[in-house]
Amino acid sequence: MWFNGVMFDGVLDKAGFVARLKELGYSDEEISSEWKKLEDEFYRQVLVAVYDGLSGEEKGRLSPDGDFGEAIDKVVAYVKENLSKLDGNGIIKSAAMRAQENYLKGFKVEEGIS
């Protein structure tokens, strides 16, 4: 993906994540797969945060015909160009935290942890 993986790994403590899953008996392949799920959720959260932060007028300019896919493509392009500004606004960290929360909710359901 187009985000700085090192920044993402640091925000979500990849080392701690890997260590915890190893303790639970997951294989390296399974851990990689689980980390990919968390990354995918992170990217989705960033795009949602940016899109949700737009005014109705801005959303209208992104897609005058109401095509959500077109609007998201433009948001992706904006995020690529402005990642450092977004990080300064805390969007990256908050999106990472939401991604982690969403992932862990699913993980607890799968594992039967309450």
- pLDDT tens figures, 13-34: 788 888 888 988 999 999 899 8
Q: What DSSP state is assigned to residue 94?
A: H
Tell which wins on pLDDT, 81 or 114: 81
When the pLDDT of each residue in the chain is averaged and rounded to a whole number, the result is 73
- For 10, 12, 35, 83, the CA distances from 89, given in Å and listed in that order, are 17, 18, 25, 10
| Per-range mean pLDDT, top range of 13-22, 52-61, 62-71 | 13-22
Q: State the CB neighbour count (10 A cutoff) for residue 54.
A: 15
Per-residue tokens: 10? 């640091």
Q: Is the pTM of this model over 0.75?
A: no
Res 27: pLDDT? 93
